[in-house]
Amino acid sequence: MTYGLGMLLDAGLVLVADTRTNAGVDNVSSYRKLHCLAHGPDREIHVACSGSLSASQAALGILLEGHRPDGEAIPALEGAGSMFAVAGIVGEALREANRRIDQALAPVRKAAACMLVGGRVGDGPPRLFLVYEEGNFIECKSDAPFLQIGETKYGRPILDRTIRPSTPLPGAVKIALLSFDSAMRSNLAVARPLDMMVMPSDRRQPTFVTRIEKDDPYFNTLSARWSDLLVEATMAVPDPDFMCAGVAARPLSVVAVTSGT
Amino acid sequence: MTYGLGMLLDAGLVLVADTRTNAGVDNVSSYRKLHCLAHGPDREIHVACSGSLSASQAALGILLEGHRPDGEAIPALEGAGSMFAVAGIVGEALREANRRIDQALAPVRKAAACMLVGGRVGDGPPRLFLVYEEGNFIECKSDAPFLQIGETKYGRPILDRTIRPSTPLPGAVKIALLSFDSAMRSNLAVARPLDMMVMPSDRRQPTFVTRIEKDDPYFNTLSARWSDLLVEATMAVPDPDFMCAGVAARPLSVVAVTSGT
């Protein structure tokens, strides 16, 4: 499966992807899914992929070679005047890659990829987009300052409760790692190493990428400490009144099934 | 959809279910899905249902009437000698209900229900089972002291990190409510009111059921306080080294797509 997460904060952009790919639990391997498509003074473009690995690699191949498999040129990322235009070009490549692979696999099964595209062009601020399988896309806005692809559910509760546009980058990175930890605990199709890209809004600070390895001691400590803190937080919240000893909050009776009450 | 959660702890059994049913987001209503099937000195049996409401109501109807729609008798819950036997009888009723409804709906769509069955028979301790759509079932054991049905993913991370067989009942109830809060934040198909049953292992304490209404002040406070505690906990964990100012953890380059590194 995979899990990809993008956060667009006042302080900058964070993109994270795991590396697990699988064709069943008996056929598992590790592939980078966070890629840098452009890195220069006028543009930085990064993508995180989920779904069919062959589809996402085909889309990236189209983008980097600048033409479809049939030879027809696609617009160059280097010439895009905005991140909106970049998302459109990535969408075009992804739609073409998904269409070809889906046609080939149609008798057997469905396969497609989708992507998070983040970066900046010219003097613009960092922007973040989710490009769907069909090539259409949405942009991340401050009402919901993150976007997810792949195994999105297990990792989402902590994001809903803690990520705000004002969250500082170090805090956002910790929350991103905890979100991945939640996904990895419950879904074997998400696993370390994780790849992370952090692009501060402040241009004086450099963008950087890092890899969290399988045995990363910081990640292990974060995960263990977090579990302890959750248990402590549970105890810090007062017990509900109805748990006071001996209180039967409602008399017991065999419920009529169809009453709906 | 719905979300149903059962926890089997040293201190007792907790069963919780929401009440939302829907046939699309434009057709939403509220039905009790936590039912008491037997309540007496020698047995207490409770079920939480998810999936097709017509299928779960049909299965409960078969159980309470004691025979299938074709008149063939099924074993009575009152005569079951153990919770294992109870789970088998519930499974038989559920399989029959699902088979009939699935046959009727087969040209249009698939529909079936599944159930959590908890309670105790005779002098035995509380036990908890998950009965699948086909009527087969698994029992909750201490390695994983909870079972879920329906919208299981959003509410699971907090369970994985905090629920242990030794968790006291008040703490387990709080964690159950937080698990439901997580599911409700992200999935409109899970909603209050919630129904909850708590059966202490200590027989001197009564079993009770309660309903958490839409405007329950304790639940609202718990949810808000929890979000604050999570943000505080995030700050309490040290920042990763690679977030120290100016550290580029890895030089940036446009990544070759097919390298896999």
Cis peptide before B193 (omega within 30 of 0): yes
CA distance linking residue B158 with residue A1, whole number of Å: 22
Q: Which of B227, B247, B254 is nearest residue A161 as measured by Cβ atoms?
A: B227
| Residue B173 near residue B196, CB atoms below 8 Å | yes
CB A201 within 8 A of CB A166: no
Q: What is the mean pLDDT of each run of 10 residues along chain B (261 residues)?
A: 95 97 86 95 96 94 93 95 98 96 84 95 97 97 96 96 95 96 93 96 92 95 92 89 61 50 37
- Rounded CA separation A3/A170 (Å): 20
The CA-to-CA distance between both ends of chain B, in Å, stands at 41
- Cβ contact, residue pair B32, A186, below 8 Å: no
Chain B residues close to A153, C-beta within 8 Å: 153-154, 186
B20 in Cβ contact with B51 (< 8 Å): no
Tokens of A6: 């993008």
> Is A157 close to B226, i.e. CB distance below 8 A?
no
Q: How many CB pairs under 8 A join A and B?
A: 193
Taking CB atoms and an 8 Å limit, are A252 and B38 in contact across chains? no
Candidates B210, B247, B257; nearest CB to A249: B210
So what's the pLDDT on residue A245? 52
Q: Do A227 and B162 touch (CB under 8 A)?
A: yes
Q: Which residues in A lie closer than 8 A to residue B66 (C-beta atoms)? A: none
Backbone angles phi, psi at B234, to 5 degrees: -60, -40
A22 falls in which pLDDT band (50, 70, 90)? confident
3-state secondary structure A149-203: EECCCCCHHHHHHHCCCCCCHHHHHHHHHHHHHHHHHHCCCCCCCEEEEEEECCC
The answer to whether residues B118 and B8 touch, using CB atoms and an 8 Å cutoff, is: yes
**Alpha-carbon gap, residue B151 to B35, rounded angstroms:** 19
Structure confidence by residue, pLDDT tens digits, B107-154: 788 889 999 999 999 999 999 999 999 999 999 999 999 999 999 999
Tell me the pLDDT of chain A averaged across its residues: 91
Number of CB atoms found within 10 A of residue B226's CB: 22
Residue-by-residue DSSP string for chain B: --EEEEEEETTEEEEEEE-EEESSTTSEEE---EEEEEESSSEEEEEEEEE-HHHHHHHHHHHHHTB-TTS-B---GGG-SSHHHHHHHHHHHHHHHHHHHHHHHTTT----EEEEEEEEETTPPPEEEEE-TTS-EEE-BTTB-EEEEES-STTHHHHHHH--TT--HHHHHHHHHHHHHHHHHH-TTS-S-EEEEEEESSTTSPPEEEEE-TT-HHHHHHHHHHHHHHHHHHHHSPPPGGGSTT--SS---PPPTTS--
pLDDT band at A33 (very low <50, low <70, confident <90, very high): very high
Among B211, B225, B254, the residue with its CB nearest the CB of A36 is B254
Task: State pLDDT tens for residues B193-213.
Answer: 999 999 999 999 999 899 999
Name the one residue in this structure whose structure tokens are 């309540």: B39
Q: What residue of A is the nearest CA neighbor of B244?
A: A170
pLDDT score, position B245: 52
The answer to whether A66 and A76 are in contact (CB under 8 A) is yes
Do B153 and A186 make contact, defined as CB atoms within 8 angstroms? yes
What share of chain A in percent tops pLDDT 70?
93
What is the pTM assigned to this prediction? 0.91
Instruction: Say yes or no for a CB contact (<8 Å) between B230 and A235.
Output: no
Nearest CB among A38, A185, A218 relative to B157 is that of A185
pLDDT value, residue A148: 98
Measured between alpha carbons, how far is A115 from A135 in angstroms, rounded to an integer? 9
Cβ separation of A162 and B227 shorter than 8 Å?
yes
- Write out the two tokens for B48: 């939480």
Give the tokens for residue B238: 């040290």
Using CB atoms within 10 A of its CB, is residue B108 exposed (0-12), middle (13-18) or buried (19+)? exposed
Contact A205 B246 (CB under 8 A): yes
ipTM for the whole complex: 0.87
Across the interface, whether the CB atoms of B162 and A252 are under 8 A apart is answered: no
Nearest chain A residue to B151 by CA distance is A153
Q: In what order do the strands lie in the sheet with B113-121?
A: B34-39, B43-51, B113-121, B127-131, B137-139
**A30 neighbourhood in chain B, CB within 8 Å:** 260
Cβ partners under 8 Å of residue A127, min gap 6: A8, A13, A83, A84, A118, A119, A120, A139, A140
Are B208 and A250 an interchain contact pair (Cβ–Cβ within 8 Å)? Answer: yes
Nearest to A154 among B157, B162, B170 (CB): B157
